[in-house]
Amino acid sequence: MSIQKWPLEEIIAFAKERSPYYRSLYQGIDSLELSVLPIIDQQEFWNSKMLTNERPDGIVFKSGGSTGAPKFSYFTSVEWESFTTAFGLGIAQGILDDDDRIGNVFYVGDMYASFLFIGDSLSWIPASEKRITRYPIGGSTDPKSIFKTILEFDINVLVGVPTSIMTLMDYYVKHRHEYSKVRIDKVLFGGESMYPDQQDSIRKLFPQVQIASVGYASVDAGLLGYADRTCKDGEHRVFDGSNIIELVDSDTGEIIAEMGRAGRVIVTNLTRKLMPIIRYPAGDLAEWVEPEGTSNRKFRLIGRSGEAARLGTINVHFEDLRAAIMRSLPEVNGLQLQLVLEHFNQLDCLTIRVGGQNISERLVVEDRVMQVFIQEKPVYIAEKEAHHIHPVVVEVVELSSLEMNSRTGKIKRVIDRRSA
């Protein structure tokens, strides 16, 4: 399977001609240069008609969002094959070896992409690159059944979200005497970060294990980065020719060329025309770790940007949550919201900080905000009860205590302290 891709100028012109959203966004702009075009506002994007064909062939996936505002990503059949082919070739640059037997424990169902995406991507790795065997297990499978399969087929590689992997490790600790022949040589994770304390706990069980990212992608933004054998924790390489990654200063909007300076990850996809992705915020912060001009230039992820917070496997879109909370608190003037992410005891924790000018009943407001969060993210209860995440904390605070950006004076929307 060859990877279908188009020149940047052709994608921009096509989007402007065929997509109502891009036609409006680029009104009055004649240039086809990327730096001249505006960065997408995610809320406007998802509330608009962005498709270039209303009745295409292909496949549709749910792309996060809240219960009140679901988001769906569209791919033609060829675009999906191009996406998974490129990502599969990226996986092949990583730690896999010939004869690896890979258990896919990503989650499947409800129109989510991860299980199918990783399965399809692995299937496109040519035998000339890596000769592997795939076992499509699924993250919701009972751990006992998973370990039975691991034993039966001598599976030595697990690929999944850290939440799935850690759940399996917890089960293994409790039943270790039954699985003395299990040997996990490699863990490939995706969808969320795997933090040092989680990795250390796996190495205590399997001292020989190699742990690495399966790659960096999302069903909305598409291809983002791949991890080869030179990549350290958090590092990935750009898919030259299939995507364009820009790092943009959060305060000034300046495109960052130098190494070691943090910026928002902005992606332009060169393999999609049905739902064009042009200067789309990926929701992460990163810094370059190789000089400008380096082939497939390497960058390092360093946290979440202001668009979204990722709590374990749960995507919390800032604007969606703020809009829902504002609807539930019409009596509060000047309501401000701040999401703080932390990581301790191998689990993520989210604190929702709420400030306003006339909040008199703090406990009532905190309870109402918590109820809104549960309504918007119904999966939260199950994730909390399964001990995949810490309970969400809601705090009503003085507006003056919300953390500000020292350069702009604006309230920081998402504060990610996990990388520290």
- Could you tell me if 36 and 29 are in contact, meaning their C-beta atoms sit under 8 angstroms apart? yes
Query: What pTM value is reported for the model?
Result: 0.84
Task: Share the mean pLDDT of the chain.
Answer: 91
Give mean pLDDT, residues 92-105: 97
Question: What pLDDT is attached to residue 68?
Answer: 45
**Contact between 271 and 89 (Cβ < 8 Å):** no
At residue 274, does pLDDT exceed 90?
yes
What are the residues whose beta carbons fall under 8 Å from the beta carbon of 269, sequence distance 6 or more?
11, 221, 222, 223, 242, 243, 276, 277, 278, 280
What pLDDT, in 10s, does the model give residues 4-61? 999 999 999 999 999 999 999 999 998 889 999 999 998 899 999 999 998 889 999 9
User: Strands 347-355, 336-344: parallel, antiparallel or unpaired by DSSP?
Assistant: antiparallel
pLDDT band at 115 (very low <50, low <70, confident <90, very high): very high
Give dist(CA 270, CA 215) in Å, integer: 18
Query: Given pLDDT bands bounded at 50, 70 and 90, which one contains residue 251?
Result: confident
What is residue 319's predicted lDDT score, i.e. its pLDDT? 81
Mean pLDDT of 131-150: 95
Backbone dihedral region for residue 361 (phi beyond 0: left; psi -120 to 50: alpha; all else: beta): beta
* Spatial contact of 267 and 226, defined as CB atoms under 8 Å apart: no
The domains of the chain, with CATH numbers, are 8-75+216-304 (3.40.50.12780), 80-213 (3.40.50.12780), 310-416 (3.30.300.30)
Residue 65's pLDDT is: 44
Amino acid at position 378, single letter: P
Q: CA 96, CA 325: separation in Å to the nearest integer?
A: 45
- Taking only the tens place, the pLDDT of each residue in 361-396 is 888 899 999 999 999 999 999 999 999 999 999 999
pLDDT at 20: 97
Confidence of residue 63 (pLDDT cuts 50, 70, 90): confident
The H or E element containing residue 286 is: strand 280-288
Identify the band that residue 409 occupies on the pLDDT scale cut at 50, 70 and 90. Answer: low
